[in-house]
Structure 1
Amino acid sequence: MPITLDTSLPPSLYPLAWLLGSWQGTGALTTADPDAPDVRIEQQLVCSAREDGTMEWRSTIHRIDAPAPLPPTSAFARDEPETPAGTGSGERTLLHREDGVWTVGELLPGQDRAAAEAAPPGSPGSFLSHRLEAHLTRRDAPAEQWAGEVRGPRVQLALGSPDGEIAATRMFGYVSGRLMWLWEHRLPVPDGAPDETALTPYLSLEMHRV
């Protein structure tokens, strides 16, 4: 599905034009227990342009007492027996309510703007990478400052920790009219060395524009 650019948008938001709008969808929550099955989640997301040229982010994710969707929606599904349909009560529990502001920054160095402008629209060569920052706040949690880049219909964000490690990552992609996104966070490695940690799958979602 082609991306339609709303020319009334502030130019600073052109790189995120594909993300603006309302989305909803389902996905999987991977628990910290390696023996526990993935859990179904549902998300409502609204991304809207602000007058100052930034993007407002409002996300609500509920945990559902039901089996997680099968791949590819559950990008991190484990090799486990399929849960029979209808298992679970369907009860909804709020997992995250998150608000924030995304800011598109300058071009990353080393790019050829003239070559990108001369390339066919929508081709890989037409995309330029911009710096990206996201200031996000969840209930009962300190504000988080994510940083990364946007290149074409793809976003990569990382959250740093006080000791300089990457504490979490988020990856977003616009694929065939759908928004796919993955969230990983750092956890201790089971049976690993003392204090050994690794980025571990947390959430994966597939969303449709509404």
Structure 2
Amino acid sequence: MPITLDTSLPPSLYPLAWLIGSWEGTGALSTADASTPDIRIEQQLSCTAGEDGTMQWRSTIHRIDAPAPLPPTSAFARDTETEPPAAAGSGERTLLHREDGIWTVGDLLPGQDREAAEAARPGTPGSFLSHRLEAHLSRRDEPAEEWAGEVRGPRVQLALASPDGEIAATRMFGYVSGRLMWLWEHRRPVPDGAAGETALTPYLSLEMHRV
């Protein structure tokens, strides 16, 4: 599905034109225990243009007492052939988290050829330019987080740095065939007495459609 550019948007938000709007969808929450099936989640997401040229982000995710969707919605679903089927569940909804924030598109990343991109056929890989991206996100009763990364065409990559400068979490968003796919990975706490740090592992993934 082609991306329609709303020319009423501030020019600073043109790189995020494909994300502006309201979305909802389902996905999977990864459990720390490999023997425990993934958990179904549902998200309502609103991305609106701010008068100051930033994008306002509001996300609400509920945990559902029900089996997680099958792939491709669950980007990290386990091998169902080797696991017993999950119980149907009660369908009870529990708020996982509500998040508000502001996204800011910055300057072009260095080393790009703007003239070549403008001359390329729209929608082709050569027509996309990479812009710096910052997201200030906050959830109730938790410190605000400063995510940084880039937007290139219909794709966003964000990373959250830990106090020591290491990557603590990542988020990847993509606009695919009219749907919004995204994956959130993080580092789980290191077990007591263990050395080093854990690797980035999937936390949640979702497949969303426009409302």
Q: TM-score range by the shorter chain?
A: over 0.9
The runs of 5 or more residues in structure 1 that have no matched partner are none
Q: Quote the residue 2:72 is aligned against.
A: 72
RMSD: 1.6
What whole-Å deviation, never above 9, does each CA across 1:82-140 have from its counterpart, x for those lacking one? 625x7100000000100000000000000000000000000000000000000000011
- Please give the alpha-carbon distance, in whole angstroms, between the structure 2 residues aligned to 1:134 and 1:167: 15
- Please give the alpha-carbon distance, in whole angstroms, between the structure 1 residues aligned to 2:18 and 2:74: 23
Q: Quote the residue 1:2 is aligned against.
A: 2
Tell me which stretches of 4 or more aligned residues in structure 1 moved more than 3 Å.
Answer: none
Q: CA deviation at 1:34?
A: 1.8
Q: Quote the residue 1:133 is aligned against.
A: 134
Q: Quote the residue 2:176 is aligned against.
A: 175
Q: Quote the residue 1:197 is aligned against.
A: 198
Q: Quote the residue 2:160 is aligned against.
A: 159
Q: Quote the residue 2:59 is aligned against.
A: 59
Superposition pairs of residues 27-46 of structure 1, within 5 angstroms:
27-46=27-46
The count of residues paired between Structure 1 and Structure 2 equals 209
Give the letter for the 1:63 counterpart.
R
- Please give the alpha-carbon distance, in whole angstroms, between the structure 1 residues aligned to 2:190 and 2:179: 33
The runs of 5 or more residues in structure 2 that have no matched partner are none
Instruction: Classify the secondary structure of the residue corresponding to 2:188.
Output: strand
CA contact (8 A) 1:187 1:197 kept: yes
Q: Quote the residue 1:116 is aligned against.
A: 117
Query: Higher mean Cα deviation, 48-57 or 194-203?
Result: 194-203
- Please give the alpha-carbon distance, in whole angstroms, between the structure 2 residues aligned to 1:189 and 1:181: 25
1:124–1:147 CA distance, 2 compared to 1 (3 A):
same
- Please give the alpha-carbon distance, in whole angstroms, between the structure 2 residues aligned to 1:32 and 1:147: 26
CA contact (8 A) 1:188 1:195 kept: no
Q: Quote the residue 2:85 is aligned against.
A: 83
CA contact (8 A) 1:5 1:17 kept: yes
Q: Quote the residue 1:19 is aligned against.
A: 19
Instruction: Classify the secondary structure of the residue corresponding to 1:197.
Output: coil
TM-score norm. by structure 1 comes to: 0.96
- Please give the alpha-carbon distance, in whole angstroms, between the structure 2 residues aligned to 1:202 and 1:32: 9
- Please give the alpha-carbon distance, in whole angstroms, between the structure 2 residues aligned to 1:34 and 1:62: 22
Percent same amino acid among aligned pairs?
Answer: 86
Q: CA deviation at 1:189?
A: 6.7
Q: Quote the residue 2:188 is aligned against.
A: 187
TM-score norm. by structure 2 comes to: 0.95
